[in-house]
Amino acid sequence: MILHARWQGHHRSSKPTLVWLHGFLGSMTDWQPVQQAFIDWPMLSIDLPGHGGSREQRVSGFAGLSERLSATLRHHQINHYWLIGYSLGGRVAMYYACRAALPGLCGLIVEAGHPGLTDEAQRQARQASDRLWSSRFRDLPLSSVLEAWYRQPLFSDLTGQQRNELIDCRSAGHGPSLAAMLCATSLSQQPNLLPELHQLAVPFNYLCGEWDSRFIALATASRLPLQTIPGAGHNAHRANPVAFSDRLTQLLRQPV
């Protein structure tokens, strides 16, 4: 089974394909403001299971999701590519780059994705939290869950208008599908990828909004190759797509 995906940009360019993976609650369309700067690149935007055009799909975990991603890349005959992922999409991209990548991976760019928990107490706490959120997404009206979701400390940089805009654009999602994906890809189920990330044989860059203190601290403590995006919090590509695009352009010029 392949994931729902859409080609954009210059399909027949000799440049590597930019493969875009969105965050939890999002869809392939989240990247459009950034993608406008890369119309001369071939681009494949993917909807993760439980989201967008892939919302009816279910996976059991990161290994199964990686198999689905490989099948999607093969289907589209992609053999020369960069992975670009935000939050959940960044975690998927890191797992895939470390443990499942098809030949031809040119580089990895992650925006505010967690590389993995390091102790059992953290895993148990995260599992309990994600199970609670999952039950809310499954059983309660989606708009009310989204209201609570975007009031978490991680999104404290959002203005009231920005929060309402996110709630409006995410309210078309399907709560039970989101609940299933949240359980399948819980951070509690993800291996700690740090040792493997430090040994990657391809370029790896880690981006954060300058106000995303939690992930800046995480990246610094984890010795990740951090670069910050001005005027942005956790969702930097949405808050400041121009600065994000400029930084991405610089990174994609790296020799492979």
Residue 158: how many other CB atoms lie within 10 Å: 18
Mean pLDDT over 183-188 rounds to 98
User: How high is the pLDDT of residue 18?
Assistant: 98
CA distance 89 to 87: 5
pLDDT computed for residue 201 by the predictor: 95
Q: Are 205 and 212 in contact (CB under 8 A)?
A: no
Mean pLDDT across the stretch 12-30?
95
pLDDT at 255: 62
Q: Which CATH class is domain 5-118+190-252?
A: alpha beta
pTM: 0.97
pLDDT band at 11 (very low <50, low <70, confident <90, very high): confident
What average pLDDT does the segment 200-224 reach? 97
Instruction: Calculate the average pLDDT of the chain.
Output: 96
State the average pLDDT over residues 5-17: 91
Whole-number Å distance between alpha carbons of 10 and 17: 9
Confidence of residue 159 (pLDDT cuts 50, 70, 90): very high
Distances in Å between the Cα of 92 and the Cα atoms of 15, 39, 41, 196, 211 are 23, 24, 22, 14, 23
What tens digit of pLDDT does each residue of 121-151 get?
Answer: 999 999 999 999 999 999 999 999 999 999 9
- Which tokens is 16 given? 């590597």
Q: Where are the alpha helices (DSSP H) in 48-159?
A: 62-75, 88-99, 120-139, 142-149
Domain boundaries, the chain: 5-118+190-252
Tallying the residues shown for the chain, one arrives at 256
Rounded (5°) CA angle 64-69-85: 110
Query: pLDDT at residue 187 above 90?
Result: yes
Q: What is the model's pLDDT at position 256?
A: 57
What is the pLDDT, as a whole number, of residue 155? 95
pLDDT confidence band for 13 (50 / 70 / 90): confident
Q: What is the pLDDT of residues 244-253, one digit of tens each?
A: 999 999 999 8
